[in-house]
Chains A and B, each alone.
Chain A
């Protein structure tokens, strides 16, 4: 495997790196054309979305990267996305999970605190808007009115934007409340307790329909208010891009675009915050705690306070994404916040590279695509084969005899397990390992390499 990497991948990489701009543009263009021509093809979509990776990977100047990145994310994705709303859904999910993974990365990757209950904060954000942005309030006995279905939503759609900020605070406070009793523990003990807390939040959501009905129990809350979208957005989009899309975009589709763009905006803010924190006193303190708690505290770093800060910052990212999720789905139930979700986000962080910002985004994209596209695509393909009368040559096995139990979409966890095992063996530092910033120091030669 290593030889393959050295003899095949590296030379190709070197060749492409000699004309990075041309390659990136070609990749981008190819992806765009493919998706435009065959809007139902998974493969075409993979080509398009992987152009994001070549944009990141190949060395060229920042301005070019920034421009190309903005054209890709702000123009190509939304316009092509509305032609096949499923793509937009995939990109939206990638964005949501990327934000969650970035938040967990602060806790696990920077501060080294293994948190197995991270989706709890996601749930807090989601239920926050689910309660205030729906009719759930009228179910409570002390609320006015008797016919919830005839009543308006508790708060207007405009409040959604405000709640994105409120969620930051509420989730951060929840992070501090949950963190205070558990952060004195180390390593395995912390992991177990956070796992417990994650489940507590889910079970709470599941059971808080009595004595007072706050969460509507396992049925979940629906409908949830969507944020207000000005009329001109739909009209403007249709006027500008109608000729590419080929049909008029409905407000419902436009909402998908809007949520995707909002998720993107949140990610940009998160990356900005994460980078700045990482390269400051706070980030260094987190990394020091991860590396050696005893030495860190002997250097004057207040352990509990810094750990709580990591928990709060990580939680606030999840809180914002929770509000977005509630708004975009208009339906929230405890099922969305299971333990498997926490593990999934953790897998993204580990796969991508714990502590590395581009790494965890790549991890989130890889896992989500595998999940939504590759496995589903394989399942679809197999079921088509089953219905055909194709026969495997030589062993004369008819596809129609293939057991219906063999459904790749059901093997999601098997595949994740496999990926994680292989990663731990061959590349434990992740797809894009984190790197310490090289400083230009007086009296030192310029950092070699870059």
Chain B
């Protein structure tokens, strides 16, 4: 990675997050270039989701710095960060269950809608135009993620896979530069996972959106990632291409324990 002259879209310097005595994210430094698909992996409790929450402003870092397009996100609220172009999905799906599918996507467009209360109350022409355009865009997004003809369903009535897709559509509705996906393939069958991988590629290739995902499913991670960052106990223990990570002994150790290492590797790590 000698391309340091390319400014990173997202850059973290020694980001620290602790809850009382527990250090959840320990001085993680990490760079994400524009237009990449990067995965963060690690055992349960490694601090991946906390890292995500720190990036999106749900938690404020206790140390270090987060830069997005060169702008510090440290003290910003989640809504301000979202408005800058960072969208996310959640590990345990967080849709607006009692709103229709289309409305969920419209909420995703919140930061882009310019209608004022006056437009709204008087139903000025601008209001109708904007709502109509937003609705059409939402329908297009539904098709894009593979949800067709369910616009008026309540989000909570969608099947599990549909809910995952809707969460992605809602995140895309914000026209983000960076899309953070927290375990998007969890609970999906192989076919659905396959479709999802194709969708992520599409999002990157067609929309030029940079993707950072947390994932446990190694088929997804190894298949799609161009770069992988491994976390354990809140620390970044390795990063590299999928091939490098597959043979990295620290990673194997973190996942499978020391016993899994062959004698030669044990000697080397000691």
Residue-wise interface mask of B (168-204) relative to A, using a CB-CB cutoff of 8 A (1 in contact, 0 not) = 0010001000000000000000000000000000000
Determine whether the beta carbon of B107 is less than 8 Å from that of A277: no
- State A437–B151 Cα separation when bound (angstroms): 11
Chain B CB within 8 A of A298 CB: yes
Q: Does chain B have a CB within 8 A of A291?
A: yes
Q: Which residue of A lies closest to B85 (CB)?
A: A300
Select which of B78, B97, B123, B136 is within 8 A of A298 by beta carbon. B78
Quick check: B108 and A291 within 8 Å, CB to CB? Answer: no
Residues of chain B lying within 8 A (CB to CB) of residue A281? 106, 110, 113, 115, 120
Question: What are the residues of chain B within 8 A of A301 when measuring CB–CB?
Answer: 79, 107, 110
Does any Cβ of A come within 8 Å of B90's Cβ?
Answer: yes
A300 B110 Cβ-Cβ under 8 A = yes
Known: A294-B58, A436-B98. A299 touches B120 (CB 8 A): no
Cα A448 to Cα B79 with chains together (Å): 36
In whole Å, how far is A416's beta carbon from the nearest beta carbon of chain B? 26
B95 within 8 A of A: yes
Q: Say if the beta carbon of A148 comes within 8 Å of chain B.
A: no
B234 to chain A, nearest CB (A): 22
Contact status A442-B110, CB under 8 Å? no
Residues of A within 8 A of B154 (CB): 436
Q: Report how far A400 CA is from B100 CA in the complex, Å.
A: 60
- Assuming the A-B contacts A292-B95, A441-B151, are A280 and B78 also in contact, with contact meaning beta carbons closer than 8 angstroms in the complex? no
Measured between beta carbons, the chain A residues less than 8 angstroms from B148 are 443
Chain A 73-105 interface mask (CB, 8 Å, partner B; 1/0): 000000000000000000000000000000000
Select the stretch in A175-183, A243-251, A282-290, A329-337 that faces chain B. A282-290
Q: Which of A288, A294, A439 meets B102, CB within 8 Å?
A: A439
B91 to chain A, nearest CB (A): 12
B205 touches A (CB below 8 Å): no
Q: Does B152 contact A (CB under 8 A)?
A: yes
**Residues of chain A with a CB closer than 8 A to B98's CB:** 287, 291, 436
B96 at the interface (CB under 8 A from A): yes
Residues of A within 8 A of B96 (CB): 287-288, 291-292, 295-296
Q: Mark A253-282, 1 if CB is under 8 A from B, else 0.
A: 000000000000000000001001100111
- The answer, yes or no, to whether A61 is at the interface (CB within 8 Å) is no
Interface extent on A, as a size class?
20 to 34
Residues of B in contact (CB 8 Å), total: 43
Whether A231 sits at the interface, judged by CB under 8 Å, is: no
Cβ–Cβ contact B56 & A298, under 8 A: yes
Across-interface contacts of A287 in B (CB, < 8 A)? 96, 98-99, 103
Q: How many A-B pairs fall under 8 Å by CB?
A: 115
CB closest chain-B residue, reference A436: B100
Q: Is the CB of A297 within 8 A of B139?
A: no
- With a cutoff of 8 Å between Cβ atoms, the chain A residues found around residue B100 in the complex are 436-439
> Is the CB–CB distance between A285 and B110 below 8 Å?
yes
In angstroms, Cα B129 to Cα A178, docked, is: 36
Closest A-chain residue to B134, C-beta based? A281
A441–B108 Cα gap in the complex (Å)?
18
Q: Is A303 an interface residue (CB 8 A)?
A: yes
Q: Please measure, in the bound complex, the distance between the C-alpha atom of A443 and the C-alpha atom of B147, giving whole angstroms.
A: 12
A276 touches B99 (CB 8 A): no
Structural contact, B58 and A300, CB atoms closer than 8 A:
no
**CB-defined contacts of B131 to chain A, threshold 8 Å:** 280
Q: Which residue of A lies closest to B98 (CB)?
A: A291
Question: Does B149 sit at the interface, judged by CB under 8 A?
Answer: yes
Bound CA span A445–B153, Å: 12
Interface residues as binary, A416-450 with B (CB distance below 8 Å gives 1, 0 otherwise): 00000000000000000000111101111101000
A302 to B152 Cα, complex, angstroms: 26
Report chain A residues within 8 Å CB of B10. Answer: none
When chains A and B are docked, how far (Å) is the Cα of A441 from the Cα of B127? Answer: 18
**CB within 8 Å for A284 and B110 given contacts A443-B149, A445-B149:** yes
Q: Are A439 and B174 in contact (CB under 8 A)?
A: no
Whether A442 pairs with B99 at a CB distance below 8 angstroms is: no
Does B117 have its Cβ within 8 Å of any Cβ on chain A? yes
B110 touches A299 (CB 8 A): yes
Q: Known: A284-B107, A285-B107, A297-B77. Is A441-B113 also a contact (CB below 8 A)?
A: no
B6 on the interface (CB 8 Å rule)? Answer: no
* Most chain A beta carbons < 10 A, residue from B78, B82, B113, B131: B78
Query: Nearest CB to that of B120 among chain A residues?
Result: A280
B258 within 8 A of partner (CB): no
CB–CB B149/A302 < 8 A: no
* B108 cross-chain contacts in A, Cβ below 8 A: 299
| B252 CB → nearest A CB, Å | 34
A296 contact from B107, B117, B152, Cβ within 8 A: B107
Chain A residues, CB < 8 A from B115: 280-281
**In whole angstroms, how far apart are the Cα atoms of A264 and B210 in the complex?**
54
Q: How many angstroms from the CA of A284 to the CA of B102 in the assembled complex?
A: 11
Across the two chains, which residue of chain A brings its CB closest to B86? A298
Q: What are 16 A-B residue pairs whose CB atoms fall within 8 Å in the complex? A: A276-B123, A277-B117, A281-B106, A287-B98, A291-B97, A291-B98, A295-B95, A299-B79, A299-B107, A299-B170, A300-B79, A300-B110, A436-B99, A438-B152, A439-B102, A443-B148
Supplied contacts A444-B151, A447-B152, 20 more A-B pairs, CB within 8 Å = A281-B110, A281-B113, A284-B103, A284-B107, A284-B110, A287-B99, A295-B94, A296-B96, A296-B107, A298-B56, A298-B82, A299-B111, A300-B79, A300-B110, A301-B79, A301-B107, A301-B110, A439-B102, A443-B143, A445-B149
A residues with a Cβ closer than 8 A to B are 273, 276-277, 280-282, 284-285, 287-288, 291-292, 294-303, 436-439, 441-445, 447
CB-based closest 10 A-B pairs: A300-B82, A291-B96, A300-B111, A295-B94, A280-B120, A297-B78, A441-B151, A281-B113, A288-B107, A302-B79
